[in-house]
Amino acid sequence: MSHEFRTPLNSIIGFSDLLAEQGEGPLGEAYADYVSHVSEGANHLLALVNEILDLSRIEAGRIDLRPEEFAAADAISDVRSVIAPLAEAKSIELRSEALPALFVYGDRTRFKQILYNLLSNAVKFTPPAGRVQVSAEPDYGQIRFCVTDTGIGIPSEQQTAIFEEFTQVAPATSGVKEGAGLGLTITKRIVELHGGRIWVESTLGGGRPFLFHDARRLGPASMVQYRGRRVRRRKIWEQC
């Protein structure tokens, strides 16, 4: 099914990109604008299809986690490099901070997917010239990841609903082009696959704080190194 969805969309995107290059001659301003809209719409639809298929695989139990040990700073750096152009387009200051000696344990790809979802949301809902920051630090034998932004926040009565499928929070979406409302749903499912939970603590005008707690226990031998100390491999994520 994924092949039948993605192949025609990729064809539309590919041919519209070729037309946009105007290699066979100028299109004219109006037609160039039409091609731009076609490409933008097709890319948007492809992203929605990918989210729906990803959620379907998670709910069907067809995603296997491959846990490994890796540096938190490396994962943050990888995601930050992808998010940076989105932040630059809105003149948003993007900061990151993680000690190089801090290691985490989990599925690296899914770990970065959670980071990407939270950071891209933070950039999307932060006004131009705002600030988004991600950091990682040890916290009483755990690891705390914090993503902060200067967005308008989420009203308390909608802080549970935002994790439901196809749900969007009206006050936070003004002037923002929305997806299908699946990003946080997928993030929540991935967190739960790691044995954790995610929730939000926010007020209007106070940014968008999300907290993620990975409660997986790996036994007394499951440790990570931090500045010469041994720390249990148990993670806390927080977007605050």
Q: What is the pLDDT of residues 146-158, one digit of tens each?
A: 888 888 777 777 7
The mean pLDDT of the chain is 75
Please give the Cα distance from 143 to 174 (Å, whole number).
34
Give SS3 for 209: coil
Render pLDDT for 72-108 as a digit per residue (tens, 0 to 9): 899 999 999 999 999 999 999 999 988 888 888 888 9
113 and 80 Cβ atoms separated by less than 8 Å: no
Distance separating alpha carbons of residues 10 and 51, to the nearest angstrom: 16
Record the tokens describing residue 2, joined without a space: 């994924």
Strand (E) or helix (H) holding 95: strand 93-98
